[in-house]
Structure 1
Amino acid sequence: MNLIDRFLKYVTFDTQSDEETGNTPSTPGQLVFAQELVKELKEIGLEDITLDDKSYLMATLPANTTADIPTIGFVAHLDTSPDMSGKDVQPRIVTYKGGDIVLCAEENIVLSSSMFPELNDYKGQDIIVTNGKTLLGADDKAGVAAIISAVKYLKDHPEIKHGRIRIAFTPDEEIGQGADHFDVKKFDCEWAYTIDGGQIGELEYENFNAAGAKVTFKGLNVHPGYAKDKMLNACLLATEFASWLPVSQRPEHTTAYEGFFHLTGMNGTVESATLSYIVRDHTRSLFEQKKEQLRMLVKRMNEMHPGSTTLELRDQYYNMREVVEPKKFIVDLAFEAMEAVGVTPLVKPIRGGTDGARLSFMGLPCPNIFAGGLNFHGRYEFLPVQSLEKSMQTIIKIAELTAQKS
């Protein structure tokens, strides 16, 4: 099975994660997918294959030289985003000649080159798209496919000398829980790379500091005909609270190192309402200020309506730069590997996070490398075939360069 066939097979598994279940993995499809991968890794001939009941899968490609070479790792995640269905994904390969791509003629779902001008970078290439009714799942099944294809290539080409290589696939990255039960000691690497980036060339060792916030409003419901001076509508409290946060700090108005408050969900009745936010900033001090701003707004609401509003605030991950930068050689190694396989590195901050951010703070420095996909988490997601191939080649070259430099 070649790289592309491998990816096309992987996206048929429904592995959408769900933060409401409280389980690990949060959905059973992730474990089903992992169990299928175990079979594949055994056929390839990897060793030390382990899969626990929480769907953490690890395996080893043994060194093919006696030289003293550091053990390195490659990590990707099994789940797809809860933002859109990943069930019954129907991918197809299109040779892109420019212009728009009709994903579903019946429902007039079109991948538009005017809305997504990055499409124009891939004229003349084969790209993988959906039928417009699901996401594709390149985030991060492209990463899974690239890693497995790379270690198989190394296994089949012993002339490429390499040290011991560990690979791992995690559940629930998309809901911020991918590293919750990751056993760094068991993984036993000096450093690793997540293969979870987007467009070709992405190389990232900076990411957002991140928190999740849930604001709950308690109202008082009475018959609307007799509500004067009695009713307190929780839904209106929620909308008033949302209006207090700065419009300029919404994700649709920010870029580069700018942080944001992102309203990800809202529901309610007159009696009770909730707002769910994710809070992001690259700078730790600004991140702390954003969290304090939420606390102050909750205090303000309670001064206006005593006892009406509560806040649940949970840090999710931090900017890996402070951990990775002292070992910058691992970033430089990936940079050199990309150039060696004909890829122009794009070193930039992640406007998001990866398992690697948390793993870095758990003692495993872990920059992030492109898997090739674009427009993640929605119906317009696509994956250029050549980009996926270059991701695989970059992994192979990193393994080779690590051996050569040891």
Structure 2
Amino acid sequence: MSLLNYKNTSTKRFLEYVQIDTQSDPESESQPSTEKQKNLSRLLVKELLEIGLKDAHLDEYGYVYATIPANSDKDIPVICFCSHVDTSPDCSGEGVKPVIHKNYQGQDLVLPDDNEQIIRLSEHPDLAHQLGNDIITASGKTLLGADNKAGVAEIMDAIYHLVANPEIKHGTIKILFTPDEEIGRGTAKVDLEKLGASFGYTIDGETLGSLEDETFSADGARISITGVSQHPGFAKGRMESALKIAAEIISNLPKHTLSPETTEEKEGFIHPVGISGAVETASIEFIIRDFTESGLKNHESLLEKIMSEVLSLYPNSKAELKVWEQYRNMKEILDGYPQVTAYAMEAIQRAGIEARQMSIRGGTDGSRLSFMGLPCPNIFAGEHAFHGKHEWVSVQDMEKATETIVHLCQIWEENA
């Protein structure tokens, strides 16, 4: 079911948004982590005010809040749509030049500013479902920023359509655009009382028609090592290098399992993401992932066992493992509110798409929001190959995401 009177504004918005550098910074302690994220957020507030959302504003922490007032007399739960404005620190987001490849016919896409950057159909099987569609990529020097500016553009497009077509009945709808999702701080300073929503949806998923109601549970971990430093000319039998101990711990991790490169579906992993130090002290940073709490504990026990076995070879050194919670599988919360997922599945189907309920090997703002009291599954935005130069999204998938958002607003009204 297509939307009546629909005029696609998501593409125009998206092409403008991605040219604004909003890369977040994990080393920064400020909130937001980079002031430049607010450049896009200020533009969004301006556009929301122009559309007619009178309370649209940007707060000091980089969050954009806005409200579409209800136009139905029914008692309808307040729902929220959320996307994040920042892009990943893993690849440059400065000077993005979006390129539209019209009427895609299955060819490999050679990016114009670096001919060695080729988006191959054989490596991106979802392209096989895009024949005849218009594919947007970056030019080869940067990421694109579809994660999550596609979601931002789709929400903005849906807002524009709802306000322009008041005959579409809906309850009060809240809008939330967050900073710093890519560095795990997307909900650090969110004001849920001010937001005032009962249920939410992040628009930050991948494949057309997907609805993600299950995420990894996630912990961070750090091994801090204290070795024995000696002058290297007189070190025989004395020196115990903390850096070498760290290297041995990493080397003793499983080679054929429990790593991102050897796991899939619901398999978890232990992943070293950083190492630093010198002869006397060193540290290793890890992320630990699994879909269950017990799986996390098993992985952490294995990591501690490996650390202890390596340390047994260095009698004068010591090491300590610290683990902290990052986020948890939102399915634990969403299973208590089945209508939230069911309505989203119906909205996808009304947009003429096969709906697929999926798990995501990662986390979203919705993971944390769910445990903060705002049950919040993740709806597709159409973004693919994110965090790198081969990122892409299709115009038609963005349009379908907009349709899904509008249908979802109607479904909540109809079922009130």
TM-score range, shorter chain: over 0.9
Structure 2 counterpart of 1:253, from 253, 257, 262: 262
| Match status 1:139 vs 2:147 | yes
| Match status 1:124 vs 2:135 | no
Structure 2 counterpart of 1:286, from 292, 295, 300: 295
CA distance in 2, matches of 1:52, 1:299: 47
Aligned equivalent of 2:34: 27
Confirm or deny: 8 A CA contact 2:369 2:376 kept in the other structure.
yes
| Match status 1:276 vs 2:285 | yes
What TM-score, normalized to structure 2? 0.93
CA distance in 2, matches of 1:131, 1:276: 33
Q: Pairwise mapping of residues 191-206 of structure 1 onto structure 2 (< 5 A)?
A: 191-206=199-214
Q: Provide structure 1 residue ranges, at least 5 long, that are not aligned to the other structure.
A: none
| Match status 1:383 vs 2:393 | yes
Aligned equivalent of 1:98: 106
Aligned equivalent of 1:321: 331
Secondary structure of 2:61's counterpart equals coil
Structure 2 counterpart of 1:370, from 377, 380, 394: 380
CA deviations 1:204-258 (Å, max 9, x no partner) are 1111000112223334444444332122222221121012222211111111111
Confirm or deny: 8 A CA contact 1:15 1:29 kept in the other structure.
yes
Aligned equivalent of 2:177: 169
| Match status 1:228 vs 2:239 | no
Aligned equivalent of 1:403: 413
Report % sequence identity.
45
Confirm or deny: 8 A CA contact 1:81 1:174 kept in the other structure.
yes
For 1:47, give the aligned amino acid: K
Structure 2 counterpart of 1:334, from 336, 339, 344: 344
| Match status 1:109 vs 2:117 | yes
Confirm or deny: 8 A CA contact 2:83 2:178 kept in the other structure.
yes
For 2:267, give the aligned amino acid: E
Secondary structure of 1:205's counterpart equals strand
For 1:6, give the aligned amino acid: R
State the 1:105 CA deviation.
6.0
Aligned equivalent of 2:25: 18
Aligned equivalent of 1:361: 371
What TM-score, normalized to structure 1? 0.96
Aligned equivalent of 2:83: 76
| Match status 1:311 vs 2:318 | no
Structure 2 counterpart of 1:263, from 265, 272, 284: 272
Confirm or deny: 8 A CA contact 2:114 2:141 kept in the other structure.
no
CA distance in 1, matches of 2:40, 2:354: 33
CA distance in 2, matches of 1:174, 1:359: 15
Q: Provide structure 2 residue ranges, at least 5 long, that are not aligned to the other structure.
A: 1-7
Confirm or deny: 8 A CA contact 1:47 1:62 kept in the other structure.
no
CA RMSD, Structure 1 to Structure 2 (Å): 1.7
Specify whether residues 391 and 243 from structure 1 end up closer, same or farther in structure 2 by C-alpha distance, changes over 3 A only: same
State the 1:107 CA deviation.
4.9
Secondary structure of 1:349's counterpart equals strand
CA distance in 2, matches of 1:128, 1:264: 30
State the 1:2 CA deviation.
1.7
State the 1:30 CA deviation.
1.2
Confirm or deny: 8 A CA contact 1:104 1:110 kept in the other structure.
no
| Match status 1:239 vs 2:247 | yes
> How many residues are paired up?
406
Deviation beyond 4 Å, 4+ runs, structure 1: none
